[in-house]
Amino acid sequence: MTPPAPPFAGKVALVTGGSRGIGAAIVRRLANDGATVAFTYSSSPDKANDVVAAVEAAGGKALAILADSADAQAVQHAVEHTVHNLGGLDILVSNAGILLRGTVDDFTLEDFDRMLAINVRGPFVAIKAASKHLRQGGRIVTIGSVVAERSGFPGASVYSTTKSALVGMVRGLAIDFASRGITVNNVQPGPTASDMNPADGPHVDMIKALLPLGRLGSGEEIADMVAYLASPGAAFVTGSSLTIDGGYLA
């Protein structure tokens, strides 16, 4: 008996910010499920090469593309490069983001503009560039954060602002893309072990105390949610922001 094809067999995906943390977990998951995956990175080519090697060792195919999400032309090029080299585009995951902390009295306008450029304009530019290539029934997923609903700590106001913007963005874009059967959704992780929030960081015990499940999430768990939203089973889910946070907002 022939085994069933992987759920994303024949699909092409692009993940921005896919060289480490949650982004790398998403790349690996989509590739393991049969997609050919391109991903962007802005630094650490060694980590990007490690992700490609891991995907290929598991029998998949990945393509690393150098592109800073603060640079609109670089993001547009990454989309075009993906389509040209991989033959199309079915899934876009906008994951690239930065976290700069500071209270309003000492947060510089330069840092404010950079956060907006990467966390808000970057996703919009990627989606706009991908819009002319996404095939019927395609999937768009942005990676937001629970800070869109609860900042929780001093110094997170700008980061919260950028992640709140994604909530409104996906609602509007879901309507724009609906006639093509393309869904647009936002995943909002809670405290997750990553480069931004290392599992052995100095504040991890305090963070765990805020979580009813008593632990940080993993990149693989966030990738599971993304894989669901990219699957045929999520065809009726669009314009939504889905929280995966260990009960942080409960």
Nearest to 66 by CA among 49, 84, 85: 49
Give the integer Cα–Cα distance in Å for 109 and 123. Answer: 20
Strands 241-244 and 36-41: unpaired
Nearest to 163 by CA among 116, 218, 208, 211: 116
Catalytic residue list contains 228:
no
Give the integer Cα–Cα distance in Å for 216 and 214. Answer: 7
Catalytic residue among 41, 159, 228, 248: 159
Residue type, 155: G
Task: Give the number of C-alpha atoms closer than 13 A to the C-alpha of residue 189, restricted to the C-beta side.
Answer: 26
56-93 in b/e burial notation, b at 16+ Cβ within 10 A?
eeeebebbbbebbbbbbebbbbbbebbbeebeebbbbb
Cβ atoms within 10 Å of 154's Cβ, excluding its own: 9
246, two tokens: 């260990």
Q: Compute CA distances 248 → 23, 100, 244, whole Å.
A: 22, 21, 9
Catalytic residues: 159
